[in-house]
């Protein structure tokens, strides 16, 4: 290329290929040379051509495509100016730049390898990712990843990857690459083009849908790493060629694989040492040249070898138990001479301790054909296995002894052509039945089965073959001709094809148990007949009164069928108060006192109330919880009616005895009213009637009428029948009622009545009219006794004290007199029916007996004792409580029996 310049350096003409490449010419115009070059080159063209001619000029011209055209030229002086001769040096510059880039890439790769070698194990993934990022940014690769064939049999895996901003995500760190890279195994280590990769569908899918570039890393064992670049396809004129890319990949993958393999080996070594330590194992090698043994570190420490782990053979043999030493020596010598490996179980002492030898298994191998060969092996601690074998042998021996001495017969039946034939029987067959296995094999079992049990025995064989197991009972004849009941439990064993192979079973002599069960069944049948035919009502029920069983008499009484009563609630026939009292009584049952008896009242639809004498017995578990109640009852309705009639008759008798006193009580207000009327009539006859006088007389008459009405009303209430169920009442009411009927009669007889009732109010449960009847009986008896004494002692002043007080959980009423007391010889008889000390015709002997029954029926007790001046009767009644826990179990302090004077 030639350029003609004038002396000032302006271009006069352009010749050669330069004009074509520049796309322009001087066209007769004298333009400065600086207009044709880049700004950097223009800076070199300061001054005149004469100044430029001293050195070569490297100028970059601007081509018609905008690219720089690198040239090198020199100036030659001509007649009219200067001639600039230039040649194109672009190829030289490009090769130089490419070389620089290669050197920089290799330098960068070397630095990367050094970083990988120096990085800690925990930072290796992070450092590798940073190196991939730097490499990708340097060569403008959107996505780059390093895939390694991981040591330790983990296979191909993406170890690290980099993805630029906005680039697609092709890979993930830790991603497994199994079948994708399997297509490239065995291929030549070369760069793979996009057209080549498209022939492998798995790999094609892995690298996305754009151009990709793969660089392998090759070791002796083959390709162990791949550098993925996608979407990326380097130009043919790229500064880095295939060799440079492989060098970069090698600088990344080589040190990294070395580090990973070293870590894997260390881990494997650590695991191996730990495993050997846990197993008590280790390797050893015999060195024939020095007659020494090279031991693993753990074994070397155990047997105090030198620093290199060596131990003289004789010293090692001394650690072998004498019983195993000669055999081991001979086997080791044979392995050295004949090349034969061996396995031997022997006992070794550790650290020179001769007290306890530990069982080891020695496995020996021989390698090499040289003389002497290499002899090495492995030691394994099998002391646990030997201990288990010893334990198993002892257990097996115990099992044999147990089978031989067991009361049961263990047998095995062989399956042959659809039949089960005796194969084995334990030694207990002889003591139990007297037969031998040979006799059973010859005669068969069916012939010795009781004729009545043949169906059971043959059904047992069919069920065994069909279901695989069976349990049944039948009788088998012994040698003496007697029959034994046997419990036969047998299981069928099958082979791997499901075909019957043999049956294993056991015969247990249950003759005594079977006979005992038969006796129990017969006893239960007799008991069932006894329960069903018993006239008593028998049942079982839960603590919440749900019936579990009821016999026919109870069902008939309740007008039900026995099966209808199962599940019914017994409380349905009880009132609320009766049901509460019933359950409170059940709560009081304990394992120490499981029995309770009471009289209960039932409400039967369409019928009168029924009274039962009911006895409960609780059934408890081991923790003392009440599980069930067994009860027996009998109908006491007629007795109760007779008792009520007796109580009513006693009331009427009491009213009859008080007739004279009651007549006096009625005459008293009548006389007052008669006198008041007579006085009023007299005043009227004399015309002397005054309003105030008349009003006073009328009020007096009204008061006496009310008094008479009260007496009549109370006599009517006292004379009627008692309620069916007990009620709550204040004991003061009974005292006031008794005094309303007796007070005037007692005062008329000169008997002084004193009261000590106290101010506290409380309630008891029972019948107020019956308690009133008891008080009347006691006060009438006391009156009669004291009047008899007054006849003998005219100066005697009769006196009765009626007291009421609260003692703990009891209310105590007492009736005391000053009649002199009761003969001590009669205290034990006064409550007996028909016993009386009154003259014939003046007493029935039922008063105190009825009173005693009334108080006892109310849950209390009537007692008598001799006081200082006379007899003292005490009536103790339980106070009403809201809950059973408030009712104490103690009784009043003094509960003797007795009566003053005469008794009726």
- What's the pLDDT score for residue 893? 36
Specify the pLDDT at position 606: 61
Ranges 28-32, 184-188, 403-407: which has the least confidence: 184-188
Nearest by Cα to 486 from 478, 476, 496:
476
Q: What is the pLDDT of residue 352?
A: 52
Residue appearing with tokens 């015999």: 286
Confidence of residue 470 (pLDDT cuts 50, 70, 90): very high
Dihedral angle of Cα 115, 118, 119, 120, to the nearest 10 degrees:
170
Query: Regarding beta strands 626-635 and 727-729, do their DSSP bridges make them parallel or antiparallel, or are they unpaired?
Result: unpaired
SS3 639: helix
Question: How high is the mean pLDDT of the chain?
Answer: 78
Q: How far apart are CA 459 and CA 463, in angstroms?
A: 6
Contact status, residue 848 vs residue 830, Cβ threshold 8 Å: yes
Secondary structure element (H or E) that encloses residue 831, with its range: none
Q: List, edge to edge, every strand of the sheet that includes 500-509.
A: 419-425, 408-416, 500-509, 483-494, 469-477
Cα(879)–Cα(813) distance, rounded to whole angstroms? 12
- Contact in structure between 568 and 555 (CB atoms under 8 Å): no
Q: What angle, rounded to 10 degrees, do the helices at 691-719 and 637-657 form? A: 150
Percent of the chain with pLDDT over 70: 79
3-state secondary structure of 80: coil
- Most distant CA pair in the chain: distance in Å? 202
CATH number among 2.30.30.60, 1.20.120.530, 3.30.565.10, 3.40.640.10, domain 722-886: 3.30.565.10
Angstrom distance (rounded) from CA 836 to CA 822: 12
Measured distance CA(4)–CA(132) in Å, rounded: 53
Q: Alpha carbon 312 to chain centroid distance?
A: 61
Residue 432's nearest CA partner among 510, 490, 505 is 510
Does 876 score more than 90 pLDDT? yes
Calpha distance 755→762 (Å, rounded):
17
**pLDDT for 900 beyond 50:** no
Nearest to 189 by CA among 145, 137, 253, 277: 253
Q: Where are the domains of the chain?
A: 2-88, 110-266, 280-387, 406-516, 534-635, 722-886
Residue 633 CB-half CA count within 13 A:
29
pLDDT of res. 31: 79
Q: What is the pLDDT of residues 776-830, one digit of tens each?
A: 888 888 888 888 888 888 888 899 999 999 888 899 999 999 888 888 877 777 7
Among the listed ranges 309-318, 326-335, 388-397, 660-669, which one has the minimum average pLDDT value? 660-669
d(CA 780, CA 662): 13
pLDDT at 768: 82
Cβ neighbour number for residue 718 with a 10 Å cutoff: 21
Which residues sit opposite 741 in a β-bridge? none
For 307-323, the pLDDT digits (tens) are 888 889 888 888 888 99
Across residues 721-733, what is the average pLDDT? 72
Q: Answer yes or no: is pLDDT of 883 > 50.
A: no
Peptide bond into 372 cis (omega under 30): yes
Q: How many helices (H) and strands (E) does the chain have?
A: 26, 33
Taking the domain 2-88, which CATH number applies? 3.30.450.20
- Candidate from 147-161, 701-715, 871-885 with smallest mean pLDDT: 701-715
The span from the CA of 41 to the CA of 58, in Å, is 8
The rounded distance, in Å, linking the Cα atoms of 410 and 412 is 7
Token reading at 331: 């086997």
Could you please state the CATH topology (level 3) that the domain comprising 534-635 is classified under. Beta-Lactamase (3.30.450)
Q: What is the pLDDT of residues 2-20, one digit of tens each?
A: 778 888 878 877 877 666 6
CA distances from 141 to 138, 540, 855 (A): 8, 93, 114
Residue 817: Cβ within 10 Å count: 28
CATH of 406-516, one of 3.30.450.20, 3.40.50.10800, 3.30.1310.10, 3.30.70.260: 3.30.450.20
Q: What is the CATH number of domain 280-387?
A: 3.30.450.20
Across-strand partners of 420? 415
% helix, strand, coil for the chain, step of 5: 45, 25, 30
CATH superfamily of 110-266: GAF domain (3.30.450.40)
Of 488 and 174, the structure prediction assigns the larger pLDDT to 488
Q: Are 552 and 559 in contact (CB under 8 A)?
A: no
Reduce the secondary structure of 823-880 to three states and give it as a string. CHHHCCCCCCCCCCCCCCCCCCCCHHHHHHHHHHHCCCEEEEEECCCCEEEEEEEEEC
Do residues 629 and 545 lie in contact, with contact meaning Cβ atoms separated by under 8 Å? Answer: no
- Answer whether residue 868 shows pLDDT above 70: yes
pLDDT bucket at 235, cuts 50 / 70 / 90:
low
Q: Within 10 Å of residue 81's Cβ, how many Cβ atoms? A: 18
Q: Is 527 helix (H, G, I), strand (E, B) or coil?
A: helix
* pLDDT recorded at residue 838: 63
263-307: per-residue pLDDT in tens? 888 877 676 666 666 655 688 888 888 888 888 887 777 777 888
Long-range contacts of 201-207 (CB under 8 A, 24+ apart): 205/180, 206/170, 206/171, 206/177, 206/180, 207/170
Q: Give yes or no for a contact between 68 and 38, defined as CB atoms under 8 angstroms apart.
A: yes
């Amino acid at each position: 290329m030639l350029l003609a310049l004038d002396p000032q350096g302006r271009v006069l003409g352009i010749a050669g290929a330069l004009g074509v490449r520049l796309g322009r010419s001087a066209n007769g115009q004298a333009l400065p040379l600086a207009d044709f070059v880049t700004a950097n080159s223009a800076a070199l063209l300061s001054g005149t051509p004469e100044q430029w001619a001293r050195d070569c000029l490297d100028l970059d011209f601007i081509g018609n495509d905008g690219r720089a055209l690198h040239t090198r030229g020199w100036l030659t002086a001509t007649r009219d100016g200067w001639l600039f001769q230039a040649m194109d040096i672009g190829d030289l510059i490009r090769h130089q730049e490419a070389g620089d880039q290669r050197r920089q890439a290799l330098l960068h790769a070397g630095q990367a390898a050094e970083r990988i070698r120096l990085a800690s194990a925990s930072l290796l993934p992070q450092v590798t990712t940073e190196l991939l990022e730097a490499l990708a940014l340097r060569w403008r690769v959107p996505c780059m990843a390093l895939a390694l064939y991981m040591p330790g049999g983990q296979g191909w895996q993406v170890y690290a990857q980099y993805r630029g901003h906005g680039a697609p995500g092709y890979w993930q760190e830790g991603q497994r690459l199994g079948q994708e890279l399997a297509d490239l195994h065995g291929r030549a280590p070369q760069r793979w083009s996009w057209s080549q990769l498209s022939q492998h569908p798995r790999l094609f899918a892995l690298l996305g849908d754009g151009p990709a570039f793969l660089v392998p890393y090759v070791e002796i064992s083959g390709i162990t790493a791949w550098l993925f670049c996608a979407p990326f396809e380097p130009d043919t004129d790229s500064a880095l060629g295939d060799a440079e890319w492989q060098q970069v990949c090698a600088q990344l993958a080589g040190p990294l694989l070395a580090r990973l393999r070293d870590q894997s080996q260390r881990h494997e070594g650590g695991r191996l040492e730990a495993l050997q330590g846990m197993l008590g194992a280790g390797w050893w090698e015999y060195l024939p040249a020095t007659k020494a043994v090279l031991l693993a570190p753990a074994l070397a420490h155990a047997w105090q070898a030198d620093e290199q782990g060596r131990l003289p053979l004789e010293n090692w043999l001394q650690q072998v138990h004498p019983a195993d030493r000669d055999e081991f020596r001979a086997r080791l010598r044979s392995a050295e001479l004949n090349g034969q490996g061996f396995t031997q179980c022997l006992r070794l002492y550790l650290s020179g301790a001769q007290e306890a030898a530990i069982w080891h298994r020695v496995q020996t191998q021989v390698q090499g054909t040289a003389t002497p060969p290499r002899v090495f092996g492995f030691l394994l601690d099998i002391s646990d296995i030997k201990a288990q074998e010893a334990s198993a042998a002892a257990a097996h021996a115990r099992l044999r002894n147990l089978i031989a001495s067991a009361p049961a017969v263990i047998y095995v039946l062989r399956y042959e052509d659809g039949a089960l034939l005796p194969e084995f029987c334990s030694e207990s067959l002889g003591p139990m039945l007297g037969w031998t296995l040979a006799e059973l094999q010859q005669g068969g079992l069916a012939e010795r089965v009781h004729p009545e049990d043949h169906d059971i025995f043959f059904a047992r064989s069919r069920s065994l073959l069909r279901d695989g197991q069976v349990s049944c009972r039948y009788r088998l004849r012994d040698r003496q001709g007697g029959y034994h009941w046997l419990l036969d439990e047998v299981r069928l064993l099958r082979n791997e094809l499901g075909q019957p192979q043999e049956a294993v079973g056991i015969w247990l002599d249950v003759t005594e148990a079977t006979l005992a069960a038969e006796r129990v069944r017969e006893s239960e049948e007799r008991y069932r007949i006894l329960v069903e035919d018993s006239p008593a009502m028998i049942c079982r029920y839960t603590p919440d009164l749900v019936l579990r069983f009821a016999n026919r008499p109870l069902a008939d009484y309740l007008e039900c069928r026995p099966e209808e009563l199962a599940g019914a609630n017994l409380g349905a026939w009880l009132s609320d108060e009766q049901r509460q009292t019933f359950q409170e009584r059940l709560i009081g049952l304990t394992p120490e006192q499981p029995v309770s008896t009471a009289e209960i009242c039932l409400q039967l639809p369409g019928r009168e109330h029924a009274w039962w004498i009911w006895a409960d017995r609780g059934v408890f578990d081991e923790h003392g919880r009440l599980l069930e109640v067994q009860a027996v009852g009998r109908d006491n309705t007629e007795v109760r009616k007779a008792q009520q009639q007796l109580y009513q008759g006693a009331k009427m008798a009491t009213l009859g005895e008080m007739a004279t006193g009651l007549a006096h009580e009625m005459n008293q207000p009548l006389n007052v009213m008669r006198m008041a009327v007579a006085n009023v009539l007299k005043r009227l006859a004399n015309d002397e009637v005054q309003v105030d006088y008349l009003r006073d007389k009328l009020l007096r008459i009204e008061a006496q009428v009310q008094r008479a009405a009260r007496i009549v009303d109370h006599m009517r209430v006292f004379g009627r029948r008692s309620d069916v169920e007990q009620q709550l009442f204040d004991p003061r009411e009974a005292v006031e009622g008794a005094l309303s009927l007796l007070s005037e009669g007692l005062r008329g007889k000169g008997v002084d009545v004193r009261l000590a009732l106290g101010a506290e109010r409380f309630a008891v449960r029972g019948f107020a009219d019956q308690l009133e009847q008891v008080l009347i009986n006691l006060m009438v008896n006391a009156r009669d006794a004291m009047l008899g004494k007054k006849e003998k002692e005219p100066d005697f002043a009769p006196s009765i004290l009626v007291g009421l007080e609260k003692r703990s959980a009891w209310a105590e009423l007492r009736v005391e007199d000053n009649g002199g007391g009761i003969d001590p010889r009669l205290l034990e008889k006064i409550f007996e029916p028909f016993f009386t000390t009154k003259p014939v015709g003046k007493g029935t002997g039922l008063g105190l007996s009825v009173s005693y029954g009334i108080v006892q029926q109310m849950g209390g007790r009537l007692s008598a004792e001799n006081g200082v001046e006379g007899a003292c009767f005490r009536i103790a009644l339980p106070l009403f409580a809201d809950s059973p826990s408030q009712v104490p179990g103690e009784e009043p302090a003094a509960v003797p029996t007795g009566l003053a004077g005469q008794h009726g």
